[in-house]
Amino acid sequence: MNGRMRRTFVPLVLGAVLAAGSAASAWGVLTPFWESGRRISTGGIDISVKAWTEDDGHRKDAAAATVIDAEKMVSYVPQVENKADKAYVRVSLSADAGAEGVDLTEHICGVKEDWKKIGGYMYCTKVMSAGDMLDVCDGFTVPEEWDYMKSREMAVRISADAIQAEGFSPDFDSEEPWGEVSITDSKKTGGHLVSEAVSGKRQGVRVICDEAAGICVGTDDFSDLTCLMPGDTKTGVITVRNDNREDVKLFFKTEWEGDDLSKVMRMRVDNGATVYSGTVAGGSFSSYRPVADLKAGEEKDIAVMMSLPPEADNRYSFQESCQTWYFAVEDEAVGTGDGSTVLWAAAVCLVSGISVICAVKMKRKRDEEL
């Protein structure tokens, strides 16, 4: 700018306008609950940005207007906090000076160790885990193109984007480290479920049916169905054992709360052959369907595969749904003469970290017309 005066002091509005977005960031976490079967939730990227100024080693909130020396570096420290799952983050700085917009990214000073300036962004080269807080830089210099004679106030704008780290490999040596990504908004409803804080502590779960039914249902490996992100596929195992002296046919059904998640979440049930494969909403599970034939004393594994397609975006973030599994045994009633069957139904409720005994509800199905 022509005619720049030495030691020009102007008010700088450091109250940042914060915009946090996210890219390709939906997952699903399966969180077991006793009361309602298996609760399935989706999380999302959740980041926040603060801005600080430093004076003699002391920090203060940069929310208020601050008078700065236009000839010196402006102390302005953006700080990013990750509140959800592991993510990569990028930040850009701009300013509104009157009717003009000013790009500040190229004027950033004191870039911190974990950040790299590429194009119009500051890219964090490390994965930010939940709870991480990182400073981006020490501040910026006032651009020459800012004509403070026209506008003596500058409102700094911080824009921060995040993309899930799992399954994503940025190239920080390229001009576009993230490649082509679409930015969508995360839904922020209720508390945040952080998968890395839960999955490491989750213990095995075992649900045992009443011995009267003669069927044991083990779900030690079923709780592995956790932390589903777009493109992820996870498989859990339900182990069933027939403790009867006779052969039995095992049936199952599930109940899933109706929501958008069930329309995109895919499920496959396999007992050596595929019992079902498709979206959760696409399967008719309201009535029992056969899942295994068990000889006396036989044990079988039933594999349940859940997957979230890559195209699932943040429209499915922070949703919750509940899925309850029911198993029933059918065997021919002896001595009744009416050919009726007996259904021993046991609701398999998954409870994180404990073992429970699930009482079997017994129902005898009779043909009233005979």
> pLDDT of 209-240, one tens digit each?
333 445 555 555 555 555 566 777 877 777 77
Identify the sign of the CA torsion 41, 304, 329, 263.
Answer: positive
Retrieve residue 304's tokens. 């349940």
The residues, any chain, with a CB within 8 Å of residue 369's CB and separated by 6 or more, are none
Predicted local confidence at residue 299, as pLDDT: 86
Predicted local confidence at residue 35, as pLDDT: 23
* N residues, the chain: 370
Q: In what order do the strands lie in the sheet with 108-109?
A: 74-75, 139-140, 108-109
Q: How far is CA 359 from CA 129, 322, 349, in A?
A: 41, 21, 11
Tell me the residue type at 228: L
Q: Residues of the chain whose pLDDT is less than 70?
A: 1-45, 63-70, 96-100, 145-154, 167, 181-229, 255-260, 282-286, 313-324, 330-370
Predicted local confidence at residue 153, as pLDDT: 65
Predicted local confidence at residue 283, as pLDDT: 60
Question: May I ask the CATH class of domain 202-364?
Answer: mainly beta
> pLDDT of 10-40, one tens digit each?
444 443 344 444 443 322 222 222 222 333 4
How does strand 233-242 pair with strand 215-218? antiparallel
Retrieve residue 289's tokens. 């369907």
- Domain(s) labelled CATH 2.60.40 in the chain stretch across 202-364
